[in-house]
Amino acid sequence: MSRVKKIIKGLADNPMDIAEGFIRVATGNEHPCASDRMAICDDCEKKEDDPIFGGFMCSECGCHLKEKVNSDAKCPLGKW
Ligand code: SF4
């Protein structure tokens, strides 16, 4: 599956998590676990450049990482 299709799938599969993460980032109300989660993602082979939104995405689930780590979502590989 192409990265663009993964991103679309990530948005479609996780709209509430993405919305929560987006609002947390936009309002500066970061999730208490966001930094620890992102540190794990930083060392993960599934972290990729996001060709649409910039920054980074998870190639396993298609989610943009900044929003994912700031939501109640779970790592699809159980790393956090
Ligand atoms: S969410 Fe999980 S699988 Fe995706 S980049 Fe982060 S640690 Fe890796």
28 CA to middle of ligand 1, Å?
A: 22
In this prediction the pTM is 0.88
Q: Whose CA is nearest to atom 2 of ligand 1?
A: 75
Q: Which of the two residues, 10 and 63, has the higher pLDDT score?
A: 63
Structure confidence at residue 52 (pLDDT) = 87
Ligand 1 contacts CB of residue 46 (under 6 A): yes
Q: Are 53 and 22 in contact (CB under 8 A)?
A: no
- Look up residue 7 and give its two tokens: 């991103």
Q: Please write down the long-range contacts of 33-39, taking CB distance under 8 Å and 24 or more positions apart.
A: 33/69, 33/80, 34/69, 34/70, 36/80, 37/68, 37/69, 37/75, 37/80, 38/65, 38/66, 38/69
Q: What residue's CA is closest to ligand 1, atom 7? A: 41
| CB 57 less than 6 A from any atom of ligand 1 | no
- Residues 29-51 have pLDDT tens digits of 999 999 999 999 999 999 999 98
